[in-house]
Amino acid sequence: MVEEKRSDQAPVHVGDTVECEVEQIMPYGAFVRLSTGQRAMIHISELSYSYVKKVEDVLELKQKIKAKVIKIDEKNRIDLSLKKMEEPPSVASSAPKETEDSFEKKLSNFLKVSDQKIADLNSKLNNAKANKKRSKKSK
């Protein structure tokens, strides 16, 4: 979020798409120079919708990019976003239904297996009790 204000600069507004060049890469984001001469910052969280481990995985020095202005604070520092330039990943409407069906199937199978195991254990316990009673009677 850095900007050097000059009187000859064209105003930049939130929502504008701007052309810029990467000037400096930091662990938390990148500083860029807008075509108007202003400086701005792109935070690592605004590089992509997917996880970005290192800024260098997405950007390199002197790379020319287009970004969207997402914030200009009271000190005229400009925040940009690359991820706002692309469509957010969409979740298919049928996906939750498939997951739900899958869960229901898993639960049903689990209950069947569980019931079988409990029945087997009860059967073994009953047999063991019966054997103890028989052995006591024979003594």
116 and 71 part of one domain = no
Q: How are beta strands 64-72 and 39-43 bridged, if at all? A: unpaired
The SS3 call for residue 19 is strand
Q: Could you tell me the residue range of the domain that residue 40 belongs to? A: 17-85
Structure-token match 């059967």, residue found:
123
Model confidence at 98: pLDDT above 80: no
Classify residue 8: in a domain, yes or no. Answer: no
Provide the Cα torsion 94, 95, 99, 104; round to 10°: 0
pLDDT single digits (tens) 80-93: 999 998 888 876 55
Q: Is it the case that residue 18 has pLDDT exceeding 60?
A: yes
24: domain CATH number?
2.40.50.140
Kindly state whether residues 71 and 38 are assigned to the same domain: yes
> In this structure, is residue 107 part of a structural domain?
yes
Q: What separation in angstroms does the CA of 71 have from each of 2, 10, 62, 97, 127?
A: 11, 16, 23, 38, 75
Q: What is the mean pLDDT of the chain?
A: 84
Residue 5 lies inside a defined structural domain of this protein: no
Phi, psi of 115 (to 5 degrees): -60, -40
